[in-house]
Amino acid sequence: MTRAVVSLTALAALVLLAGCSSHAPAPGESVEGELSGPVVEQRWNLLLVGTSERLSMPETPWFEIDRDGRLVGSDGCNEMHGQVRLGDSQRIEVLELATTRRGCPRLDEAARVTTMLESAYRYLIDHDRLVFFGPDQRVLGGWREAN
């Protein structure tokens, strides 16, 4: 073997080893470990539960996800806080979702909002709409981008 072939082989092996040791960002994650994408740093207001049901709440349910994966918002009655992970193929996972428990005449409907977020498995964004799907591909509900 010539010295040039040995050097190229050694260089290729080093490049492969360096590539294996570096952390590639997950989909929806930037190099710094921050989340990115159309669902992040945007306020989303509840539009529908399921495919057609509108809720009448004291205030409009909403949420935002920041670049650190923190979720904040309201289920229409209570403040919400949690964590979000984004993955391949518009995969979403809402973790550690907690709400305040204020007195509210619509607690059952508020619980449906939090259940939707906790059950979300995938999402789809179409223009100014965000739709959540469950693991069975059933539509859980829709949200509209706030202006």
pLDDT for 14: 29
Q: Decide if 39 contacts 125 (C-beta within 8 A).
A: yes
pLDDT number for residue 32: 52
CA dist 97 and 57 (Å) reads 20
pLDDT for 70 equals 97
What per-residue confidence (pLDDT) applies to 26?
Answer: 46
CATH: 3.40.250.10, 2.30.30.100, 3.30.70.120, 2.40.128.270. Which one for 3-145? 2.40.128.270
Tens-of-pLDDT digits for all 147 residues of the chain? 444 333 333 333 322 333 333 333 444 544 456 888 899 999 999 999 999 999 988 899 999 999 999 999 999 999 999 999 999 999 999 999 999 877 788 888 999 999 999 999 999 999 999 999 999 999 999 999 997
- Determine the pLDDT at residue 106: 86
Q: What is the pTM of this model?
A: 0.76
Alpha-helix runs per DSSP H in 22-131: 107-119
Assigned token pair, 102: 């204020």
* pLDDT in the model for residue 101: 77
Q: CA-to-CA distance for 146 and 107, rounded, in angstroms?
A: 23
